[in-house]
Amino acid sequence: MQNAFYFLIVDKQFIKMKRFVALLLACCWYMGIFAQISNASMPRDISRQASARSSKSKISSNVTFGANSQTGNTEKSGVFTTASFASVDSIKEFSANLRYAFGANNRVVNQREYLAGGQCDYRPLSRLSPFVRFEFYNNTFRQIAQRYSGLAGLKYRYFVYKRSSDYSISAALLFHYEKYTSETDLPDTGKMRLSIRPKFKQNLMENIHLLAEVYYKPNLADFDDYMIYSITTFNFKVNRQIFLRASYEYEYNSRPATAAVKKTDTLLLGSFGVEF
């Protein structure tokens, strides 16, 4: 009876979480519509203004070094480094990113993570733009030997105000392939997922920027099998080349590889970076 009651509560929590995500997306949509109607200075045709501003590519890159604190499957602190590159113009955008995290205690490694990804957008400054993205992930402490992700979708920028605000929402089809470590004795899995992502870019002050993204990724064959990932980042520009960054990441997997793997992981990161 207790087990049945417990699973009933869990199922209700799943339903509430799905309703919450649906409500969040609806709020984002209507907030954008309201902002466009109420703000007379809101540009009506983003793509035309973007094309008029510049057809030249804007190239940027940066590296960061910092420390992180993780809870969940790894209750440890460590260090990490990232590198990113982006080339943007009115026709296309290409970006690539790398992250390596490491931690050890008494010369025993207790954290090691690799993440690499790349993305291409067609007409990224337009209101509607298609995109594709590929990603590789490895973390044996979460029993994931290899994870490959490929997705293709469409982004809609529903609220853009000068250079201070850029709100968008995207939907994509995601193919998700995982190969687990030998300790799990699980076969490799490939799943087709839906990926819905609201994204908010907001300049709080001239040198302080906020970036928030939320991903909801249900399995198309079974919506009770889903993943949620969110990242909130504050960037503080010291000068044109140097910046400070603080990020918080939350990840939830309703069906991890084994019962020994926790469903929730959080990561707090602090770093300084150099732009080129």
Q: Strands, E, within the chain: which ranges?
A: 58-71, 76-88, 92-105, 108-122, 128-139, 144-161, 165-180, 189-205, 208-219, 222-237, 242-253, 264-275
Q: What is the SS3 assignment for 36?
A: helix
Domain parsing of the chain, residue ranges = 2-195
Bigger pLDDT: 90 vs 99: 99
Please state which of the ranges 87-101, 136-150, 190-204, 215-229 shows the lowest mean pLDDT. Answer: 136-150
pLDDT band at 163 (very low <50, low <70, confident <90, very high): confident
* Mean per-residue pLDDT, 146-169: 93
Tokens of 245: 């960054």
pLDDT tens, position by position, 29-51: 544 444 444 344 444 444 444 44
CA distances (Å), 240 to each of 62, 155, 209, in order? 12, 29, 14
**Cα 220 to the center of its chain, rounded Å:** 20
Give ∠ CA 61-93-250 in degrees, rounded to 5: 70
- pTM of structure: 0.77
Residue 188 in this model has a pLDDT that exceeds 50: yes
pLDDT tens, position by position, 190-247: 899 999 999 999 999 989 999 999 999 999 999 999 999 999 999 999 998 999 999 9
Give the integer Cα–Cα distance in Å for 149 and 194: 12
Q: Which residues have C-beta within 8 Å of that of residue 45, sequence separation ≥ 6? A: 127
